[in-house]
Amino acid sequence: MYQKALLILATIALCAGAQKVAEYDYVVVGSGPGGGPLACDLARAGYSTLLLEAGDDQGDNPTYANLGNFEKAGSDVLSRWDFWVKHSDDQEREHRFHKTTWQLPNGTYYIGLDPPKEAKRLGKQYPRSATLGGCAMHNAGVCSLPQDEDWNIIVNKTGDASWTAQNMRKYLAKIEKNLYAPTGSAAHGFDGWLSTTDSDLSWTKNESLPATKIMKELAKLLGHKESDATTLAKTDILGDYPNRDQISSLYSMVQHQDRAGKRSSPNNYIKATLSDPKKYPLTVQLNSLVTRVLFANGTKLPTAIGVEVMTGQSLYKADPRHKVGTKGQTSRIMAKREVIVSGGTFNTPQILKLSGIGPAEELKKFGIAIVKELPGVGENMADNYEGSIIGIGQTPAGTFTPVGAPGLTTAIFKTSSSPKNRNIYTWCGPFSFEGFWPGFPENHGPNQYECAMVHIGPKSQAGYVHLTSADPQDVPDINLNFFKNNGDQDLQEIVEGANLLRKSWQAAGSTVLPFNELHPCPGTGAGNCTDAAQREYIRDQTYSHHATSTCAIGGENDRMAVLDNKFRVRGVRNLRVVDASAFPVVPGAFPVLPTYMISAKAAEDILAEAKNQS
């Protein structure tokens, strides 16, 4: 409670003096996995740092503090920003999405394909979290590492060897407070701010449990002995192994939480930093929507000197609590050294464009003066494809308790059509998760069983985030353009993943079988639909929540590159971007841990540069 009171007082004090121009060494916009830890690192190095967050603080709210409540957190109006996105430009395809959301005149939602005539189409819900800690406060906390080539692509683009996969592991060790590996394990860290735990696998010793039988069969299908399945399931998913990206195997799921199931996130790190204000000069300002970056007049290169901020609750129109016409108090905050934008894959490009940095034609369209033309801002968006096979058994296949994810079989594997590396991350168990819509998820009862899939290394990277106006409260136009490029290859890989997982279900035993599959192959037969039918279903019903790459790092000769190897906005001084938008490609299966890692790298780069300037 002391830390929360301290945070509230710091926020009130700053807002009370909003008419005065405040000044800090660094101004960080956004408190999520990129900006939150970075602001703490800068303050802990002795630099006065302001961290701006558009939402409030829900860190003590059990909905957010207990990781097992992540689905409730994702639907919670207290932090939710609703982005209504498109998956393609094909209107017929868009209207086939089963969870299309429509708003009724009374403000409630209709979910489905046959809305009442008076309903207004919203689209596909893509919730983001506006609260202290960002999307790390409503996610499932799943930790995984990118493929080595996801890091090495930055080396190839920029020539900077500090981005090699092996070197990037040191940032995992730096931030991690590992609670499951033997102390001193070289692949891990034990003194960082981010607690990591692995899953409880005691259930796998129960040979008669249908879920255990499925797990053993899956191990066999992945090329291992059934007798080794229990041991394989304990494999450290964050371990450092030779040829790691080619190994198809079972793994133990790792999440950023403590052993009691409490979420470990930037919120905790921020509170710990705020608890010693004399030592660490961090200031946090909540309910602060950044409207644009400010630039100096008359400089040879555009030079960031601060930000313009609108203060007030629920100012952004993605907030379902936003009231039409609500405006906040506007003020300016100055940065003596740098402005760092960490608003996330949707909001960072919006902020840059509103500041005059982006594609010239788009800026001209809305009367925004061009500060620096960078055509890549808001383009080349990438995302993992996500889907599942889900069925209803005749009896339960297992039991599920969310703390530590017991009851789940986790695997990463390579399908036969994958050109090189593992391409499917899956977790199987008695749960239901089928994407996002108001009020998700749908519970199908105790006999439900699902293998959720995340497709690693999507080939298509054609999404965009475009302005709809010059009003910073307006929500941008977002189109993920799923499967636009090389879509047949991606679809085939996902279908092959579904087929392999479906085979493993057949080992569940006579009390459970047959599964009544809900999708993508409805019915009770294991082979009752074709690959072509599955491809069609997956193309239309795929969802996602790992968007990246709208302000990507790239080389000097890359016209679409937005950032250089040190996160600096190209052609602009004293302005960086540190969040998931910086990745050239979506990093592995879950971007949250890689984003924590690049946050630590950015802090190291910024502090080294500051030292050289001293």
User: In whole angstroms, what is the distance from residue 373 CA to residue 356 CA?
Assistant: 8
- Is 552 known to sit in a ligand binding site? no
- Is 139 known to sit in a ligand binding site? yes
DSSP 137: G
Burial class from Cβ neighbours inside 10 Å (0-12, 13-18, 19+) for residue 205 reads exposed
CB 472 within 8 A of CB 289: yes
CB 154 within 8 A of CB 584: yes
* Residue (of 43, 37, 8, 59) closest to 277 by Cα position: 43
- Cis omega (within 30 of 0) for bond into 438: no
What SS3 state is found at 228? helix
CB 385 within 8 A of CB 395: no
DSSP bridge pairs for 381 = 463
- Is 562 known to sit in a ligand binding site? no
Which two tokens mark 410? 């986790």
Chain CA centroid to CA 475, Å: 19
Own/partner pairs for 605-612, CB < 8 Å, 24+ apart? Answer: 605/566, 605/567, 606/26, 606/38, 606/42, 606/338, 606/340, 606/567, 606/576, 607/41, 607/42, 607/45, 609/566, 610/47, 610/337
DSSP bridge pairs for 429 = 450
- Helix H, strand E, coil C: the string for 482-497 is CCCCCHHHHHHHHHHH
What SS3 state is found at 376? coil
CB 462 within 8 A of CB 502: no
Q: What is the DSSP string of 232-251?
A: HTT-BTT---TTGGG--EEE
**CA angle centred on 362, ends 35 and 342, rounded to 5°:** 0
CA atoms lying within 13 Å on the CB side of residue 125: 28
Helix (H) or strand (E) holding 502: helix 487-505
CA atoms lying within 13 Å on the CB side of residue 401: 10
CB 96 within 8 A of CB 539: no
- Is 142 known to sit in a ligand binding site? yes
**H helices, E strands: number in the chain:** 15, 25
CA distances from 225 to 191, 398, 489, 524 (A): 37, 22, 30, 28
Chain CA centroid to CA 130, Å: 13
Q: What is the crossing angle of helices 165-175 and 592-613, to 10°?
A: 90
192-202 residues labelled b (16+ CB within 10 A) or e (exposed): bbbbbbbbbbe
- Is 223 known to sit in a ligand binding site? no
CA distances from 342 to 31, 37, 169, 361, 509 (A): 7, 11, 22, 25, 49
CB 605 within 8 A of CB 370: no
Q: Which residue positions form the known binding site?
A: 139-142, 290
Q: Which residue positions form the known binding site for FAD?
A: 139-142, 290
